[in-house]
Amino acid sequence: MTSSRRFQPSTRSSNRALEIVAAALALALVPLACAKSTDTDGDGGTSIVWTTGGGGSTTGGSGGITSTGGTGGSTSTGGTGGSTSTSGTGGSTSTSGTGGASSSSSSSSSSSGTTTYSHTIVIDGVNDFTLADEQLSTSSNGFAGYIAWDSQNLYVGMDGTDFATPSQPTKWVLVYVSGSPGLTVGQPYNTQEPNLPFTAGYHIRWKLDANETNNPSMRIVSGGAWTAGSFTGDASWSTAGSYVEISIPLADIGGAGLRSVHVNMINEQSMVESSWAALPASSFTNGYDPDYAKCYQFDLGGQAVPSSYPPAC
């Protein structure tokens, strides 16, 4: 009688074989997993979701056709989204990635990765306005105007020959800011009373007088007329040589937002009354009692630098 014996693999052997196969697959997938954070060309394929960009100075990877762009490092740019996907997220101080053709961008702290303009001017008589971004021409040769702001203050500066002589109590730097209630006629200075190109609710003025204790001072509209106002914040000024700078608390002029602003100089001395150094430069022709025709409309809290705003009104 012939007998035979059929081989029966044990359960332990089967499990061991599966473990070997699984280990081999895991090793084969390691490069793909690493590619999620180290791929240098940002090509995520058609369905890979890039989750992380490189280090602090590296750009996040690009998403695939249906995936999400990578996240930028702490000072970097987010990746580009796929054609139907979402862009990567920008770093904490950076720009978000670009969205796909039918999707939206994302950012960590502001809309589309943009940055709000802000520049704090130290009121110390030293001109630290940024010339390219904050210097504005005036209607007078030899006079330059400066505008800046941060979350607390509007800063106005001016440079010109008049400031080199500190005690001229009939001369003023005038600033008008839109507000409500307001007027379209300015504060009278002797016989000069200009028409304004916008409804002004706040009038800040600084007298060229080293002995003036109420400097700068403010006028507001009440009962249909200009009346004395007061600052609740820290309004201050400083001058050196031919330069003066003034800080105006935003809380005292209606806060941040879109504001019409006009700046100029005036002399109220009888027989030599005049207005000059208008900002914008196209607002008026220097001389006696001109009406103001132009202003700047600044977004106090927006993204654009002051010098990028054209004359308005």
What residue ranges do the domains of the chain occupy? 11-115, 131-308
Which pLDDT band holds residue 69 (cuts at 50, 70, 90)?
A: low
Higher pLDDT, 111 or 261: 261
Instruction: Encode pLDDT of 108-133 as tens digits.
Output: 334 445 799 999 999 999 999 999 99
Q: What does the DSSP 8-state code read for residue 241?
A: T
Alpha carbon distances (Å) from 233 to 18, 46, 211, 217, 247:
75, 57, 22, 12, 10
Non-local (6+) Cβ contacts of 88 within 8 A are 50, 53, 60, 61, 63, 68, 69, 70, 71, 72, 77, 78, 79, 80, 81, 96, 97, 106
CB atoms under 10 Å from CB of 136, counted, come to 20
Residue 227 has phi, psi (to 5 degrees) of: -130, 170
CATH topology of domain 131-308: Immunoglobulin-like (2.60.40)
Percent of the residues in the chain that have a pLDDT greater than 70, as a whole number: 64
User: Can you read off the two tokens belonging to residue 210?
Assistant: 């080293």
User: Can you read off the two tokens belonging to residue 196?
Assistant: 């304004």
CA 251 from centre of chain:
18
pTM of the entire predicted model: 0.66
Q: What is the pLDDT of residue 210?
A: 79
Q: How many alpha carbons lie under 13 Å from residue 275 in its C-beta half-sphere?
A: 25
Q: Per-residue pLDDT for 94 more than 90? A: no
Averaged pLDDT score across all residues of the chain: 77
Q: Contact at 8 Å (CB) between 288 and 172?
A: no
Instruction: Encode pLDDT of 265-312 as tens digits.
Output: 999 999 999 999 999 999 999 999 999 999 999 999 999 999 999 999
Q: What is the pLDDT of residue 114?
A: 72
CA 50 from centre of chain:
31
Q: Per-residue pLDDT for 151 more than 70? A: yes
Q: What is the pLDDT of residue 166?
A: 81
Cis amide leading into 290 (omega within 30): no
